[in-house]
Structure 1
Amino acid sequence: MTSSNDASASPALPFQAPHPYQAQGSLKGRTILMSGGSRGIGLAIATRAARDGANIVVMAKTGEPHPKLQGTVFTAAEQLEAAGGQALPLVGDVRNDGDVAAAVAAAVERFGGIDVVVNNASAIDLSRTDAIDMKRFDLMQDINVRGTFLLSKLALPALRKSGNAHILTLSPPLNLDPKWAGAHLAYTMAKYGMSLTTLGLAEELKNDGVAVNSLWPCTLIDTAAIRNMPGGEQIVQAARGPEIMADAAHAVLTGVGSTGNFYTDEQVLRDAGVTDFTPYSLGAPEEKLVADIFL
């Protein structure tokens, strides 16, 4: 399975009522800088923040409509503003140092600072070692590892000035079971590189007032990467919608500032009082949902 972005997704499925997550905090007035975010999990996280009245700077590559992917950075901004937030859409590539530096500067200029960085942009290729093209290998390293490190690094001066700063990266727990390295070594290396950034920055910044955490879904999430697979339309019936990650991210970002954690969406939402996860599902009963990798 290959995709240019493992956070890409189809339009969100509306929740059943009542909504399972009841927020205890708010992101109103806080400024979020996100890589990716023109669709999928990133857009869902940004939209949940916009509902609080947050300012969201979305830096994504898609400035023009894509033949296979829905949404652009500009349609995302329209959705965020319709939800109640302020949005600054920026066409940029997290692999480009100048683009990332410009995004940080634009966020500070437009909104006066940065409170949250969400490292959402990510590439996926589950090919085994003898089958993967080295261009795909380099792409995953450049977007997942280098992009996460670069955006976090360049945002640090602004984050240190925030009274409630957070870096949230969409990456898995560091599970050293050989199963995961053996299944798709190149992708595992790339995602674990993102998680090592969380581990290291949390320790490095523990006295700077900047919380650093990772978040990962317990089940498959409805994404373009899955839908583009053979039989993908059927597979997503055993997945959850991206709103579960949006609610979990909201809970983490409005929490008490704990740092150095590798959260799962279910763990976070259970701690927030959610007991019924069925509204997030796309058709299959809970016991038949497909577990995500790395767990």
Structure 2
Amino acid sequence: MTVESATPTSKVVLITGASSGIGEATARRLAASGHRVFLGARRTGLIAAVAKDIEAAGGVAGHHALDVTDRESMGAFVRAARDRYGRIDVLVNNAGVMPLSMLEALKVDEWDLMIDVNLRGVLYGIAAVLPLMREQGSGHIVNVASVSGHRVDPTAAVYSATKFAVRAVSEGLRQESRDVRVTVITPGLVSSELTDGITDSGVRGAVEGMMEIAIPASAVGEAIAYAVGQPADVDVSEMVIRPTAQG
């Protein structure tokens, strides 16, 4: 095992869905603050490029292939990070999909995908890092939810269900924990690739029409950096970050 050294304030931060959007922005922001980041995603070429950029800018970054719907893949991702850095301080469960549609369209495969990525992926991440954090006596799990975890709109029933569930799991874990911090990050409209997964052209057009007010992914990265940077005895339980113009 080769362990890379760091400054006393540097944390080892694992980020899922780090190939673009919020995950990529968070990786860049945390690395710029001196944290050692480890990026996971299915698109290995993209996370390799992001890691290379971070290191070229003087940061410390690693990467590993990750499919959050596969428990073994999540385990391998976490082990690779621990082998490289010697510990795991933070997991950012960011990977998510949003193929919105009316329930009557019966896009059951897309329902399953949202459950697998948005909820099961979060649970697999927790299962992979929690024993290590308990062993260390410290840790921080950051789960990215959505304002759709606070409200339900037409076309978003299943997506909202998964995000409500992420908030419920997070709150349960927070109450069970005394040495592991738990944060829910709740974004509103953010410029990202999430709309690319909407297969219903009418729904996709409507959502894309709303994106003119979307905030950049870097705004959410800033919020995550704030939560991660708090003292060990301060738990930022939830932050809602959305455009001022969003209703």
Give me the whole-angstrom Cα distance separating, in 2, the residues matched to 1:195 and 1:236. 24
Give the aligned partner of residue 120 of structure 1: 94
Give the aligned partner of residue 192 of structure 2: 223
Give the aligned partner of residue 159 of structure 1: 133
Shift of 1:142: 0.7
Contact 1:144–1:193 (Cα < 8 Å) also in 2:
no
Give the aligned partner of residue 53 of structure 1: 34
Give me the whole-angstrom Cα distance separating, in 2, the residues matched to 1:59 and 1:39. 11
Give the aligned partner of residue 170 of structure 1: 144
Contact 1:148–1:197 (Cα < 8 Å) also in 2:
no
Which of residues 107, 110, 114 in structure 2 aligns to 1:133? 107
Q: Greater share of helix residues, 1 or 2? A: 2
Give me the whole-angstrom Cα distance separating, in 1, the residues matched to 2:246 and 2:150. 21
Q: Mapping of 1:176-187 within 5 angstroms?
A: 180=152, 183-187=155-159
Shift of 1:111: 0.1
Letter in 2 for 1:223: S
Letter in 1 for 2:33: D
Give me the whole-angstrom Cα distance separating, in 1, the residues matched to 2:73 and 2:42. 10
TM-score (norm 1): 0.71
Which of residues 61, 73, 76 in structure 2 aligns to 1:87? 61
Q: Mapping of 1:274-289 within 5 angstroms?
A: 289=245
Contact 2:227–2:235 (Cα < 8 Å) also in 1:
no
The structure whose RCO (Cα within 8 Å, separation 6+) is larger is: 1
Q: Mapping of 1:262-281 within 5 angstroms?
A: 262-265=238-241
Shift of 1:255: 1.4
Give me the whole-angstrom Cα distance separating, in 1, the residues matched to 2:234 and 2:75. 27
Cα deviation, 1:252-278, whole Å, max 9, x if unaligned, reads 111134447221137xxxxxxxxxxxx
Q: Mapping of 1:28-43 within 5 angstroms?
A: 28-43=9-24
- Report the CA distance shift for 1:108/1:227 in structure 2 as closer, same or farther (over 3 A): closer
Give the aligned partner of residue 150 of structure 1: 124
- Report the CA distance shift for 1:244/1:37 in structure 2 as closer, same or farther (over 3 A): same
- Report the CA distance shift for 1:83/1:204 in structure 2 as closer, same or farther (over 3 A): farther
The gaps in structure 1 that reach 5 residues or longer are: 1-25, 65-71, 267-280
The gaps in structure 2 that reach 5 residues or longer are: 1-6, 198-203
Cα deviation, 1:15-36, whole Å, max 9, x if unaligned, reads xxxxxxxxxxx99521011111
- Report the CA distance shift for 1:128/1:260 in structure 2 as closer, same or farther (over 3 A): farther
Q: Please tell me the root mean square deviation across aligned C-alpha atoms, in Å.
A: 2.6
